[in-house]
Amino acid sequence: MVEKYNKNNKVSLSQVAGAAGVSKMTASRVIRGEGGYSEKTRDLVMQQVDRLGYLPNRLATVFAGDKSSTFIGVSIPDLGNEVFAHVLEGIDHKLGSFGHQTVLGLTQHTETAEEDWIRTVLSWQPAGLILTGRFHSPRSMEMLRNASLPVVEIWDLNSSPLDMSVGINHFDAGFDMGRFLVGCGYRNIGYVGTSHDTANAATTRLAGFVKAVTAGGGAVTKQLCLHDTAAYYPGYYGTEQLLTSTPTLDCIFFQNDAMAFGGMQFCAGKGLDVPGDIGIAGWGDLPIAAVLPKRLTSMHVPHLKLGQAAAEMMMSRLSGEPVHPTRDIGFQLIPGSTVRSQGLS
């Protein structure tokens, strides 16, 4: 809490009322356009509003009316990952169009940072929270239950959410990719990811992936889990590590497209042909995947739509409409041309 930069400089309702020669209540009614006043009175009040540059104090409104605010707390792991930037953009636009505001929290993929942020943001009486991921610390869970406000868990679809959830089933998405790569004839596959990404979604994905590969008679020979962000350069040096330790791999699955692109650059630098010498698959279908010389094999997830859906569920809940507590936003495999054609194995 900080001393006001320039206190007493704010115009209050009673100042407006005083200047207009009416009571606070009348001024309030006029400003809210609630009716119950004459045109003459309205003009008097609005004239003073303009003259004094009155801006309503919404804190007081929330306070007075036992309402909740129009804040929606949104926790995002990090913005270095393009995926979450898009999700956040989708959320903020949709919330904005409903007159709500995003209070951001970057959690660095840690439950403790999320917990601290939840505690703080709850103390500001938000209308609801949108949280990335479905794993939260016990204390976070307790606070959320106590606060009993709408919560949307996004990204990783939670079939038994705290309140609501929207996202995709990462296990299934990983499984589909695994089955696809096995179908392309790959049997000796590597994985490069990070310990971030709200770790659990990527981990779940990997689990589904491994299951499908194994079931198809292949093996995920080597899994690399970097302590870094899921971006280009980690993809580059991760690939280097992977191929140095296990040069026999016939395919690499990356945590996302940015990393996959880094991996492709490493391969290109080493003179490895993709997909001739090694197959490459990414995840997320980021914009970059579409302008590469070869279409990157990836998994499309509608990020912007996911964010919008989360905001929509929140708004529906707040307006009292019935909301289905879970929504699967779906994914779509992009075969691309950075892996061998299916059936040519």
**What is the footprint of DNA within residues 13-72 (CB under 7 A)?**
13-14, 21-26, 28, 31-32, 34-38, 40-41, 56-57, 60-61, 63-66
Distance of closest approach, residue 96 Cβ to DNA, in angstroms: 21
CB 259 within 8 A of CB 232: yes
Structure tokens at 12: 């209050």
Binding residues for its own copies restricted to 38-57, rule: CB under 8 A: 53, 55-57
Of 8 and 160, the one with the shorter C-beta distance to DNA is 8
Based on CB atoms, which residue is closest to DNA, 5 or 217?
5
Selected from 21, 25, 51, 60, the binder of its own copies by CB under 8 A is 60
Is the CA virtual torsion 176, 181, 187, 191 positive or negative? negative
CA-CA distance, 335 to 340, in Å (whole number)?
10
Q: Which helix (H) or strand (E) holds 260?
A: helix 257-269
Q: What is the SS3 assignment for 112-130? A: HHHHHHHHHHHCCCCCEEE
Find where tokens 């403790």 sit. Answer: 112
CB of 249 to DNA, least distance (A): 58
The CA-based angle 196-169-304, given to 5 degrees, is: 75
- Minimal distance, residue 163 CB to its own copies, in Å: 9
For residue 319, the Cα-to-chain-centroid distance in whole angstroms is: 23
- Which of its own copies, DNA, none does residue 23 bind (CB under 5 to 8 Å by kind)? DNA
- Decide: is 31 part of the binding site for its own copies (CB under 8 A): no
Q: Which does 255 bind (CB under 5 to 8 A by kind): DNA, its own copies, none?
A: none
Residue the block writes with tokens 């949709």: 94
For residues 99 and 276, which CB has a smaller minimum distance to its own copies in the complex? 99
The residues that touch DNA, with contacts defined as CB under 7 A, are: 10, 12-14, 21-26, 28, 31-32, 34-38, 40-41, 56-57, 60-61, 63-66
